[in-house]
Amino acid sequence: MTAINIASGAVYTRGLQVKDKLQLYGMALVFLVLLYNSPAGLVFYWTLNNVFSLVKNIYFKIRFPGKRKIVSAFILIICAFMIFYVLAVHHGDISVRMFLAVIFALIILIALISPFVKKIFAMRHVIPENRSGFFETPNSKQTFAVFISSFFVIWLLFGISTPTQLIAASPQEFSFIDNYTSPFFFIFNTGLQVSGFFLFWGICLYFLFPAKIKKHFAFAGMILCACFLCDTFLFSGSYGLISVNLVFAGDVRHSLKSIIINILALCIPSGILAFLYFSKWKNIIPVVFGICAVSLAGLSFVNAAAIQKELAHLASYSANKEMMPTQTKPILQLSKTGKNVVVIMLDRAISVFVPYILEEAPELKKDYSGFIYYPNTVSFNGYTAIGSPPIFGGYEYTPEEINKRDSVPLVEKHNQALLMMPRIFSENGFAVTATDPPYANYNQKTALDIYEPYPDVKAYITDSVYTDLWLLEHNLSLPSASDILKRNMFYYSVFKGLPLAFRRAFYAKGNWCATVYGQSLRLTLNGYAVLDYLPQLTAIQNEEKGALLLLTNNTTHETSFLQAPEYRPKLQVSDYGTSKFKKEAAYHINIASLKRLADWFAFLKTENLYDNTKIIIVSDHGPQPNFVTKIGLPFNVDQFNPLLMVKDFNASGDITTDMAFMSNADVPSLALQNILDGAVNPFTGNAVTMENKKSPLYIAMSGSIHLQRRQATRFTLNPALDYYVHDDIFKPKNWIRADSYENGSQADEQL
């Protein structure tokens, strides 16, 4: 760095007095001393800065004819080479390569057309004197008004409006993250970041340049603002659910048709504003942006009010959070002599991956001894809010049956489902333990207060509790959840304002412009650590009374690549396994979950607990994309095909497959079978059975992915989008659209 600095100074001070040269050389030595122990990144920055300064000084000092043309030609050659390299040589993500190619192509285009633009500007005498814009001597007040109003709207859009809109969709998910209890901190932090990036640096650059350049800044800011607004509100995109670390469940991909429509749409507001900018109506532009600013502020206020209202429901979570354990201790009670029932809900576990998992890891066939795998299983919805109640409450809590009891609020029926099995088992002398009940009290954050009226039921929050302990024990360092969110929310806001053509490259598969591994891994570890610690978390009792464990785990919900063959967390994965799905992160978390459960089963076998324990592994729904099942239906069958694996008492032998028609609402009946036959739902008095399965089952594909309003009593369903299914979910003729079925049409006629 110092050598380059001295060389740059030597070129710059050529022909100057010795004292001027000594001053620059002295500064170079001072910086050598000051920065000697500085971080490498800072020194690298200063080195590149000095390289730029050296090249600039050489360029301005050397005089020869055609200098600019030679430099321009050199830059064009470099850009052309980079386009060839990223498209023909490099084998990275095609969206990133296309993005870089477009940038280099734009540089070439600007360089080629700039001489013609200069000629047009030189024709000022043909432009009427009353015209404005690029062709006039700029009015500093007008120009600054356009500039500051456009950048202020960008700040409101990216810093306040987009974050509040994101958080308002699910306020509780962004609450109680590390030491930040309220999501408003993340809005404030994003607003601060955007103000620094756009307002502070924008204003600094604006006043750094002369008037003839300022008008270009104002014009660019105006066009950017118009495009950002249009993209954010008219082309928001549909990428599936988004996690709390702002990674989409779906893929960020757009068709060529969508991209072209987007580009054409952006030309409309840009063209209108350009016309105003070049005309005598230039003063209208700040007024237009002022209206936009008021609208964004109003929208942000409404979203902020909704966030604050929702936070009122988190008081119970705050109390439970303070009681969370800081180290592993036995909390999951099992009996060594009595009968145990274990129900494990793996959120979004993928049934169709099981055959491929057993093919890659055949040892699991023995590890899962006595298990029956039911591939032909259906879920009643593709998301947790509606798909999970049947798991805990049976067929009385399917969407169709819940809507029939329209005098009871949905939140109450949801809680009834979660409490049904704990009440039945505890009232019959079983020790009951439940963890992480999904959406209890319709809270996004796990709340345990629904169990307070039942002192015989023990409940715990385990998700994310053991993450930091696991990281410490395994000597791994990951960014905190709050640090990830503080970084990514800024990128998310900008992402929403970008044209569709640039979003995939900007998103970078969830890394948001950088290869920062660990963002998704922390979320995966929140559940994975619990599965890995199951042997330490298991409390073995010698009492005769049996036990019920209801465990909810999110490992299969948060995608990350893991290190094969054991599929354990690692910062840099080098072995992706041998499966055909080895490049699918969803596959990695599913095989990892089954492997960690296999480790626990080995522990149960060692402790002589396996034979007297009935185990049911189930998921509330499958994945959004169809990984395997492609049978020509207009929806993703895999999403409504949950995992279901059952091991009965004293069952043995390698895992087997049974194609019987099942649903995840069979779980309570399977859990009670041969233990408490004839049990009734304590909330309705009706028997817990599987009789509903004799008729086609109503699958609520139209159900909302979000929690319904607490005062609502029915799910909002659309028979034109929903289906009935019977017997075999892998036969298209067995899926009948709900409105056709209710009108008496047959499946083959409808399909």
Q: Looking at the predicted structure, is the pLDDT value of residue 258 above 70?
A: yes
The DSSP H or E segment spanning 193 is helix 184-194
Which residue did the predictor score with more confidence, 71 or 253? 253
Q: Looking at the predicted structure, is the pLDDT value of residue 748 above 50?
A: no
Tell me which residue range forms the domain holding 561: 324-479+516-692+702-717
What's the pTM? 0.80
Q: Which residues contact 282 (CB under 8 A, 6 or more apart)?
A: 132, 133, 142, 146, 276
Q: Looking at the predicted structure, is the pLDDT value of residue 306 above 60?
A: yes
Distance CA 732, CA 633 (A): 7
Which residue did the predictor score with more confidence, 627 or 89? 627
| 78 lies in some domain | no
293: amino acid identity, one letter:
A
- How many other C-beta atoms are found inside a 10 Å radius of the C-beta of residue 655? 18
Per-residue pLDDT, 244: 83
Q: Which residues contact 108 (CB under 8 A, 6 or more apart)?
A: 76, 79, 80
Per-residue pLDDT, 293: 95
Per-residue pLDDT, 431: 96
Is residue 677 packed enough to be buried (19+ CB in 10 Å), middle (13-18) or exposed (0-12)?
exposed
| 489 lies in some domain | no
Which residue did the predictor score with more confidence, 366 or 482? 366
| 708 lies in some domain | yes
Q: Looking at the predicted structure, is the pLDDT value of residue 137 above 60?
A: no
- How many other C-beta atoms are found inside a 10 Å radius of the C-beta of residue 726? 19
Least reliable range by pLDDT among 325-329, 621-625, 642-646, 711-715: 325-329
The residue among 512, 519, 599 whose CA lies nearest residue 558 is: 519
Per-residue pLDDT, 124: 46
| 397 lies in some domain | yes
Q: What is the mean pLDDT of residues 318-338?
A: 75
Is residue 572 packed enough to be buried (19+ CB in 10 Å), middle (13-18) or exposed (0-12)?
exposed
Least reliable range by pLDDT among 107-121, 243-257, 686-700: 107-121
Least reliable range by pLDDT among 279-288, 462-471, 703-712: 703-712
Over residues 704-718, the pLDDT tens digits come to 777 767 779 999 999
pLDDT band at 139; cut points 50, 70, 90: low
| 529 lies in some domain | yes
Q: What is the mean pLDDT of residues 639-660?
A: 97
| 558 lies in some domain | yes
The residue among 667, 680, 672 whose CA lies nearest residue 649 is: 672
| 225 lies in some domain | no
Number of domains in the chain: 1
Per-residue pLDDT, 151: 94
Domain holding 556: CATH number? Answer: 3.40.720.10
Q: What is the mean pLDDT of residues 515-537?
A: 85
| 344 lies in some domain | yes
Per-residue pLDDT, 676: 93
Per-residue pLDDT, 548: 98
DSSP 54: H
Q: Which residues contact 615 (CB under 8 A, 6 or more apart)?
A: 342, 344, 371, 601, 646, 647
DSSP 197: I
Which residue did the predictor score with more confidence, 91 or 6? 6
User: Helix, strand or coil for residue 324?
Assistant: coil
User: Helix, strand or coil for residue 735?
Assistant: strand
User: Helix, strand or coil for residue 573?
Assistant: coil
